[in-house]
């Protein structure tokens, strides 16, 4: 088990230059935006605009702060409510529109054919698979963890955290495909 502190993250420009992201973790380390097998990041979105394109990548986006986001994906309109993970293809042409001011999102990206990802609310009972990783993203301060700290469990580790039952958090399950 490793704790990845929010305070240690460094802001970097989006691939398309339209904003900033803060990488939580990626594999392989130091792979960059075009060479990762999987990547977990947080982004602050303050203006409407296009998403970066990532061919061959599956994405799961979850609004974690703010009112929500409307995506237009290849002509289809989807409203993302806070806390509801939404999966889509990284090569899709996506335009985002804020519904009522800035938002923060959790973005999970996996190289299709190598990894899969699932994002869901923390229930305190997640189990790590022998062939993957589990990350728990805190959405608020809890015990000795700050909001947006992430606890990473390696393959096969028991996913247990001593958190108050009402703690708001998300679980990310990354599995080899």
Contact 117, 172 (CB under 8 A): yes
Q: Specify whether 14 is located in the same domain as 100.
A: yes
pLDDT for 162-173, tens place per residue? 888 889 999 999
The number of folded domains in the chain is 2
Give residue-wise pLDDT tens across range 49-68.
999 999 999 999 999 999 99
Same-domain status, 123 and 106: no
Supply 37's token pair.
């097998």
Measuring CA to CA, how many Å separate 14 from each of 19, 74, 125, 149? 5, 21, 34, 21
Neighbouring C-alpha atoms within 13 Å toward the C-beta of 87: 10
- Domain end position, chosen among 111, 137, 156: 111
Residue 61 lies in a domain: yes
In a domain, 2, yes or no: no
134-163 tens-digit pLDDT: 999 999 999 899 999 999 999 888 778 888
Same domain, 49 and 70: yes
Q: Residue 97: pLDDT band by 50, 70, 90 thresholds?
A: very high
Please check whether residue 163 is in contact with residue 149, taking contact to mean a CB–CB distance below 8 angstroms.
Answer: no
Is 4 part of a structural domain of the chain? no
Alpha carbon 135 to its chain centroid, in Å, reads: 10
CATH for 34: 2.60.120.10
Residue 127 confidence (pLDDT) above 80: no
Kindly report the pTM of this predicted structure.
0.93
Q: Is residue 34 part of a domain?
A: yes
pLDDT surpassing 80 at residue 131: no
**Residue 8 neighbours by CB under 8 Å, 6+ apart:** none
Which domain, by its residues, includes 156?
115-176
Three-state SS sequence of the chain = CEEECHHHCCEEECCCCCCEEEEEEEECCCCCCCCCCEEEEEEEECCCEECCCCCCEEEEEEEEECCCEEEEECCEEEEECCCCCEEEECCCCEEEEECCCCEEEEEEEEECCCEEEEEEECCCCCCCCCCEEEEEEECCCECCECCCCEEEECCCCCCCCCCCCCCCEEEEEEEEC
Q: Are 66 and 140 members of one domain?
A: no
Are 64 and 37 members of one domain?
yes
Whether 44 is covered by a domain: the verdict is yes
Residues 16 and 95 both lie in one domain? yes
């Amino acid at each position: 088990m490793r704790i990845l502190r929010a305070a240690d993250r460094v802001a970097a420009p989006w691939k398309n230059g339209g904003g900033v992201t803060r990488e939580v973790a990626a594999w392989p380390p130091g792979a960059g935006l075009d060479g990762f097998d999987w990547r977990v990041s947080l982004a602050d979105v303050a203006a409407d605009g296009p998403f970066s394109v990532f061919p061959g990548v599956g994405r799961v986006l979850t609004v974690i702060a703010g009112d929500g986001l409307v995506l237009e994906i290849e002509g289809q309109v989807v409203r993302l409510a806070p806390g509801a993970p939404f999966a889509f293809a990284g090569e899709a042409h996506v335009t985002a529109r804020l519904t009522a001011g800035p938002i923060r999102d959790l973005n999970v990206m996996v190289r299709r054919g190598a990894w899969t990802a699932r994002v869901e609310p923390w229930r305190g009972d997640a189990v790590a698979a022998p062939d993957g990783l589990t990350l728990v993203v805190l959405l608020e301060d809890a015990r000795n963890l700050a909001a947006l700290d992430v606890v990473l469990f390696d393959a096969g580790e028991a996913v247990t955290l001593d958190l108050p039952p009402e703690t708001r958090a998300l679980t990310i399950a990354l599995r080899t495909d």
